[in-house]
A = this chain, B = another copy of it.
Amino acid sequence: MPEPDVTPCDASEIARWDESADVVVVGFGAAGAAAAFSAAGAGARVLVAERAGGPGGAAALAEGIVYLGGGTPVQKACGFEDSLDDMYRYMMAACGPDPDEAKIARYCEESLGHFDWLVARGVPFDPSFCAETSMAPTGTEGLVYSGGEDAYPFNEIARPAPRGHLAKTPRSTGWLLMRHLADAATAAGAAVTSDTRVDRLVLEDGRVVGVQAQRFGTTVSLQARRGVVLTAGGFVFNDDMLRRHCPPLVRGTFKVGTEGDDGRAIRMAQAIGAAVRNMYASEVSLPITPPRTLIHGILVNGRGQRFINEDTYMGRVGQSALYEQDGEVYLVVDERSYDVNWMGLAASWVCETPAELEREIGLPEGSLQATLELYNRHARQGGDPVFHKGASWVRPLVPPLGAIDLRIGPAPYAPFTLGGLETSVDGEVRDLAGHAIPGLYAAGRTTAGVCSFGYASGLSIGDSTVFGRLAGAGAASASC
């Protein structure tokens, strides 16, 4: 199916600019707010063009976790020691394969300063830790483990520390974060035009000098004297793009983002020769816990085999479930470990014996029995030498047994895309030869960020705001 046209427009075709600014920011989500704030703070006249009726983007709908470490005030208040070196080692391992080392190094360098920047923007953090979840707590706690730092294999690579920071409000906290960031951008002087869908870049002698957009049924031309910053989200709401680049995600049932995440900004830049990378990568959340007692159970696939340590980050479980296990996963628990989980997923089967459970689920005869036998034998010895689940979560599973149905459908698979435009650490969009495209910047999920495939909660808003700030500053200081 043809996609909307994104052919660039030549400046000579613009009879007059409807509005002019030094920096035009496309999209008013987390990355856009950060870019607009820093560009305005650098003295640039900033215009933010937002497709929806107001600010927020995907971040406002999100859990709102920001991944920061190296000894933030919240970490310290909660009694956790952390170093930038441990954070770097964790990220290099968890964000791979082969993540963007320059971005990860810069991200870690910015970490402590970025925490202060968020606080200075008015974002409140409760200096308390929640052990029960790797997502937004039901309370107002400001810190969680959000990437399996304390589980295999990462606990052997870097000293574990919780780095998921949350604004002080119960449950999903993204709206509060975004309220402060959006307010900060406008308070810094950024002008905003809402209900304005940017469709094309405007070029003059190979330099991006503005955009064309649709506003209330009219085409408007917005001049960007110094630069355009694309912060318009990813492409999880564009099934055609998913089929081209990331077919497993077509089956995702609970897409994380807004309908504006249709990849248009990525395609607009590609149309002028921008490079993309990691287009196959995504975060896929399959948040089985809380309660964490469920981690005592074992995850098995459609062949009755385990495939991962159950105490790892639930995004890693979701990635494997969707990409490698064909979306067929079950959590097998016993009475001691069982509970209805936070999503309301209860055991679909409860049986007196493993053989019966296996038959009820429809797993190959003997497969789950063999898996349980091996798991229980190791558990009696106090360990899990096959998948390295932490010893505190390992104990024999004793019948009667139950199984929670985590197949696509019964369970939500919640993906968003991680691939996008290739950018420098300063937000310059690169062309296919690796050169910066004059006048074009980007940040957030319109870009390929710190994650090449692996992910931890908080890295998307973290990456969006850290590199959004840098992109905004870069655009503001670009020579006209």
Chain A residues within CB distance 8 Å of chain B: 1-7, 97-98, 243-248, 250, 267, 270-273, 275-280, 303-306, 324, 364-367, 370-371, 373-374, 377-378, 385-387, 422, 431-435, 452-453
Contact = CB atoms under 8 A, between A and B. Distances in A.
A452 B247 contact: yes
6 contacts: A7-B433, A244-B276, A244-B277, A245-B280, A303-B386, A367-B386
A387 B272 CA distance: 48
B245 A434 contact: no
A432 B3 contact: yes
A270 B432 contact: yes
B386 A7 contact: no
A230 B367 CA distance: 50
A390 to B, nearest CB: 16
Contact of A433 (B2, B245, B246, B433): B2
A216 B246 CA distance: 41
Please tell me how many copies of the chain the complex holds: 2
Contacts of A279: 245, 279-280
Nearest to A367: B386
Contacts of A432: 3, 6, 267, 270-271
B98 A243 contact: yes
A364 B152 CA distance: 15
B431 A271 contact: yes
Given A6-B433, A7-B431, 12 more contacts: A2-B433, A2-B434, A4-B433, A7-B273, A7-B433, A97-B248, A246-B280, A270-B432, A304-B386, A324-B324, A366-B374, A370-B371
A276 B274 CA distance: 13
A36 to B, nearest CB: 27
List 9 tightest A-B contacts by C-beta distance, closest first: A2-B434, A244-B277, A280-B280, A364-B385, A364-B386, A5-B433, A370-B374, A271-B273, A97-B247
Contacts of A271: 273, 431-432
A278 B387 CA distance: 32
Nearest to A325: B324
Contacts of A385: 364-365
A6 B373 CA distance: 59
Contacts of A4: 433
A199 to B, nearest CB: 11
A235 B77 CA distance: 51
A273 B275 contact: no
A324 B97 CA distance: 13
Contacts of A431: 7, 271
